[in-house]
Amino acid sequence: MTATTLDPRRWWALGAMSISLIVIGLDLTVLNVALPTLATDLQASTSQLQWFANAYTLVLASLLLPAGLLGDRFGPKRLMLGALVVFGLASAACAFANSPGQLIAARAALGVGSAFLIPLSMSLLNLLFAPEERQRAMTIWLMANSIGIPLGPLLGGWLLDHYRWGSIFLINLPLVAIGLVAVALLIPAMAGHRSRRIDVPGIVLTATGLVSLTYGFIAAGEHGWGSAWALGGIAGGVVLLTAFWAWARRTADPLVDLKLFRSAGFTWGTALATLASFALVGLLFVLPQLFQAVQGADAFQAGLRLLPIIGGMLVGAKVAERLLERAGARVTVVIGFSLMLAGLVIGAFTKVGDGYGFTAIWVSLVGVSIGFTLPPMNGLALAALPIERSGSGSALIQASRQVGGTLGVAILGTVLNAAYRSHLDVSGLPPAAADVARDSASAAIAIGSPGLTRSAQAAFVNGMDVTLWVCAGLAVVSIGLALGFLPRRTRVADEQVVTINA
Q: Give the model's pLDDT for residue 36.
A: 72
Q: What is the 3-state secondary structure (H, E, C) of 108-166?
A: HHHHHHHHHHHHHHHHHHHHHCCHHHHHHHHHHHHHHHHHHHHHHHHHHHHHHHHCCCC
Angle between helices 200-223 and 390-423 (to 10 degrees): 10
404 domain-assigned: yes
24 confidence band (pLDDT: 50, 70, 90) = confident
Whether residue 250 is found in the same domain as residue 267: no
Are 370 and 340 in contact, with CB atoms under 8 Å apart? Answer: yes
97's torsion region: left (phi>0), alpha (psi -120 to 50) or beta? beta
Q: Which residues contact 52 (CB under 8 A, 6 or more apart)?
A: 31, 35, 38, 44, 100, 103, 104, 107
Answer yes or no: is pLDDT of 275 > 70.
Answer: yes
- Of 231, 254, 277, at which residue does a domain stop? 254
Whether residue 370 is found in the same domain as residue 246: no
Whether residue 128 is found in the same domain as residue 206: no
Q: Give the model's pLDDT for residue 338.
A: 97
Whether residue 120 is found in the same domain as residue 233: no
308 domain-assigned: yes
Mean pLDDT of the chain: 85
CA 256 – CA 394 distance, rounded (Å): 10
- Which range among 228-242, 316-330, 354-368 shows the weakest confidence by mean pLDDT? 316-330
Are 363 and 348 in contact, with CB atoms under 8 Å apart? Answer: no
Answer yes or no: is pLDDT of 26 > 90.
Answer: no
Q: Give the model's pLDDT for residue 500.
A: 33
- Domain housing 439: 263-502
Whether residue 238 is found in the same domain as residue 342: no
Angle between helices 390-423 and 46-74 (to 10 degrees): 160
Q: Give the model's pLDDT for residue 5.
A: 60
333 domain-assigned: yes
192 domain-assigned: no
Are 260 and 395 in contact, with CB atoms under 8 Å apart? Answer: no
- Of 217, 235, 254, at which residue does a domain stop? 254
Whether residue 275 is found in the same domain as residue 250: no
**What is the model's pTM?**
0.83
For the segment 117-172, what is each residue's pLDDT rounded down to a tens digit? 988 888 888 878 888 888 888 888 888 877 877 777 788 878 887 888 899 899 88
Whether residue 437 is found in the same domain as residue 291: yes
226 domain-assigned: yes
Q: Which amino acid is at 364?
A: S
Q: Which residues contact 163 (CB under 8 A, 6 or more apart)?
A: none
Rounded mean pLDDT, 75-84: 89
4 domain-assigned: no
DSSP 5: G
Q: Give the model's pLDDT for residue 236.
A: 94
Whether residue 236 is found in the same domain as residue 267: no
Q: Give the model's pLDDT for residue 502.
A: 34
Rounded mean pLDDT, 76-89: 92
CA 106 – CA 353 distance, rounded (Å): 42
Number of domains in the chain: 3
212 domain-assigned: yes
Q: Give the model's pLDDT for residue 501.
A: 34
Q: Give the model's pLDDT for residue 385.
A: 79
CATH number reported for the structural domain that contains residue 113 in this entry: 1.20.1250.20
Whether residue 153 is found in the same domain as residue 209: no
Whether residue 207 is found in the same domain as residue 278: no
Q: Give the model's pLDDT for residue 475.
A: 94
Q: Which amino acid is at 100?
A: P
433 domain-assigned: yes
Q: By three-state DSSP, how is residue 379 classified?
A: helix
Query: How does DSSP assign 299-350, residue by residue?
Result: HHHHHHHTHHHHHHHHHHHHHHHHHHHHH-HHHHHHHHHHHHHHHHHHHTT-
Whether residue 461 is found in the same domain as residue 478: yes
H-type helices in 7-130, by residue range? 10-41, 46-74, 76-95, 100-128
For the segment 406-420, what is each residue's pLDDT rounded down to a tens digit? 788 788 888 888 899
Whether residue 84 is found in the same domain as residue 208: no
- Which range among 152-156, 263-267, 387-391 shows the weakest confidence by mean pLDDT? 387-391
User: Cα dihedral angle (261, 266, 272, 274), rounded to 10 degrees?
Assistant: -80
